[in-house]
Structure 1
Amino acid sequence: MTVTDFGQAVRRWRDRTPPDAAGLPAGGHRRAPGLRREELAQLAGVSVDYVTRLEQGRASHPSAQVAEALARALRLSGTERDHLFLLAGLAPPGPRTVPAHLTPGVQRLLDRLADTPVAVHDAAWTLLVANPPYAALHGDPSPWRGNERSAVWRHFAGLGSRTRHTPDSLRAFETALVADLRATAGRYPADQGLRRLVAELRARSDRFAELWDSGAVGRHEAARKTVDHPRVGPVTLDCDVLTVAGSDLRVVVYTAEPGTEDAERLALLTVLGTQTLTG
């Protein structure tokens, strides 16, 4: 396998993927029916220049994170995803590592909840994909790299959040996060990235280390959460965490009670998106 083989495969799969299949509008004149390079770059969270260099064989050794992001953006099947990893010189993720592949059903769910804030995390609470309403609600996650994409890391490293907590809700949230991570580490003992994340969190956060060592037991449950949005003010929403059987994905969905001021604010911030207003 060569770098050129990887680039040719990405180009071939990009050409076969229509925009609407990737959750993008299909309007405008197109020389080819597939995704444009800038669209693939946007979906995968990488630069257009990097996609160009990959396709032309001028970039070597893409990381597992990049290969996974490209596989999701291109809507690859499990077999195709494994082949992409092999072309990149990487071992395909095995059954003893945390799954990060978005199933076709979860992809369609995201596409059809276009007006609802939805994010998908893996079993270790690494953010895999977030739709535009979620980015508008919580802030744009597309620049996040490495540990920044871990909800557990972001919380215990103090990277900030728009979600408002009471002492009780904070304690329950932290306990659930750590308990869930402990359970995941037990299910996927061979996942080196997960072991490294735990070690780094223990070294960085006394609170995480305390909860981890205490064998904290808890679980994520449906809850009412207030998000302090910088443009529309506080928005109180129902937050549900759905676990996808068979793939161990966590789908986080925020909804508002119809006809309420919170529903109006949610609709407004979805329209505003992540744009910065001036004036």
Structure 2
Amino acid sequence: MAVPHSGFGRLVRAWRDRLSPADAGLPVTTGRRAPGLRREELAQLAGLSVDYVLRLEQGRAKNPSAQVVGALARALQLSRPERDQLYRAAGLLPPQDGSVNTHVPPGVQRLVARLGDVPIGVFAADWTLVWWNATWSALFGDPGSDRNLVRAVFTGAAPPVRPERGAEAFAMSLVADLKDAVSRYPADAQLDRLVRELRRTSHAFARYWDTQTAAAVHESERKTVTHPEVGDILFDCDVLLVPGADLRVVTYTTAAGSADAGKLDLLRVTGGRPLTTS
């Protein structure tokens, strides 16, 4: 029997109250009435409206989708048992073990938040962006609703990034990773739909899919990101694996004291928004 939706709201409120803004990568200001997150901060982290979060907490919004519950679970930095409890409180089945994992452990989220000077994005096995920090947003912009990197690359919607090894080699490595994910998650319907879609809509993807055989080995690589406000920035890009979670943590770092580091500092200050003059 499903837990009433008021129980869902109580869980969200209780877990919001216990999460430190610092652990969520938010500035800690004076005059806060409670140690936890404000409702608008949770809404921002989960990509939801403040009004919708309010209605969920008050039990006035019914039947939240699995996507909404997953976003709240990540924003609240829940453990896997807590995440499953939140799904059940919403009347939903928790994600099954045969599905691509999109749950980011709290320790990984705290790591991403505290390394705020470095653009960091966390990707699932199918290269869907599931967590990122403010510096990542300043560099690449708002991730939007479709956060799958493979789809973005093969539809031309990816950010302007030039890998040192070349765009084709990078695209082929993504396809190899996706084939590996399919072999490990054969029952994941969303992953199957993604592959079918790209094979139908992208000749390049279909060609690579039919020829790639092994998963890519990710090594440190130099990439140039072209930002509309500061121009080209040269980064060292590294892909770190999270044991037991099947996640990839992608970091972009610059050499200290370099012109590239100065450009990244400027983006952190402006949030990547256009510079204005008085």
TM over 0.5, shorter chain: yes
How do 1:60-139 residues align onto structure 2 when only pairs under 5 Å count? 60-139=62-141
Q: Give the match for residue 200 of structure 1.
A: 197
User: What is the distance in 2 between the residues matched to 1:178 and 1:227?
Assistant: 22
CA RMSD in angstroms, aligned pairs only? 1.6
Q: Alignment partner of 1:220: what SS?
A: coil
Query: Which of 225, 242, 248 is the matching residue for 1:244?
Result: 242
Tell me the TM-score normalised to structure 1 length: 0.93
Query: Which of 173, 176, 181 is the matching residue for 1:179?
Result: 176
How do 1:50-61 residues align onto structure 2 when only pairs under 5 Å count? 50-61=52-63
Q: Which amino acid aligns with 2:255?
A: E
Percent identity reads 54
Q: Give the match for residue 33 of structure 2.
A: 31
Q: Alignment partner of 1:149: what SS?
A: coil
Q: Alignment partner of 2:63: what SS?
A: coil
The more displaced of 193-202 and 37-46 is 193-202
* Deviation, structure 1 residue 163: 0.8
Are the equivalent residues in 2 in contact too, given 1:162–1:228 (CA < 8 A)?
yes
User: What is the distance in 2 between the residues matched to 1:31 and 1:265?
Assistant: 37
Q: Which amino acid aligns with 2:272?
A: T
Q: Give the match for residue 226 of structure 1.
A: 224
User: What is the distance in 1 between the residues matched to 2:106 and 2:228?
Assistant: 34
The superposition leaves residues 3-39 of structure 1 with CA deviations (integer Å, 9 ceiling, x where unpaired) of: 2221121112112223223222221322322211100
* Deviation, structure 1 residue 105: 2.5
Are the equivalent residues in 2 in contact too, given 1:85–1:91 (CA < 8 A)?
yes
The superposition leaves residues 68-91 of structure 1 with CA deviations (integer Å, 9 ceiling, x where unpaired) of: 111111111111000001112221
Q: Which amino acid aligns with 2:19?
A: T
Are the equivalent residues in 2 in contact too, given 1:164–1:227 (CA < 8 A)?
yes
User: What is the distance in 1 between the residues matched to 2:156 and 2:213?
Assistant: 20
Q: Alignment partner of 1:23: what SS?
A: coil
Q: Give the match for residue 211 of structure 1.
A: 208
Q: Which amino acid aligns with 1:180?
A: D
Are the equivalent residues in 1 in contact too, given 2:43–2:50 (CA < 8 A)?
yes
The superposition leaves residues 133-185 of structure 1 with CA deviations (integer Å, 9 ceiling, x where unpaired) of: 111111122xx11xx1101111112214221357x611111111000011011
Q: Alignment partner of 1:35: what SS?
A: coil
Are the equivalent residues in 2 in contact too, given 1:179–1:219 (CA < 8 A)?
no
The superposition leaves residues 199-235 of structure 1 with CA deviations (integer Å, 9 ceiling, x where unpaired) of: 1122221111111122354333321100111111110
Are the equivalent residues in 1 in contact too, given 2:102–2:130 (CA < 8 A)?
yes
The superposition leaves residues 91-146 of structure 1 with CA deviations (integer Å, 9 ceiling, x where unpaired) of: 111221111111233122212211011110111111011111111111122xx11x
**Runs of 4+ residues over 4 Å off in structure 1:** none
Q: Alignment partner of 2:64: what SS?
A: coil
Q: Structure 1's 55 and 226: CA in aligned 2 closer, same or farther, altered over 3 A?
A: same
Are the equivalent residues in 1 in contact too, given 2:163–2:222 (CA < 8 A)?
no
Q: Alignment partner of 2:98: what SS?
A: coil
Q: Structure 1's 55 and 129: CA in aligned 2 closer, same or farther, altered over 3 A?
A: same
Are the equivalent residues in 1 in contact too, given 2:172–2:212 (CA < 8 A)?
no
1:149 and 2:147 are equivalent in the alignment: yes
User: What is the distance in 2 between the residues matched to 1:20 and 1:112?
Assistant: 8
Gapped runs of 5+ residues in structure 1?
none
Q: Which amino acid aligns with 1:91?
A: L
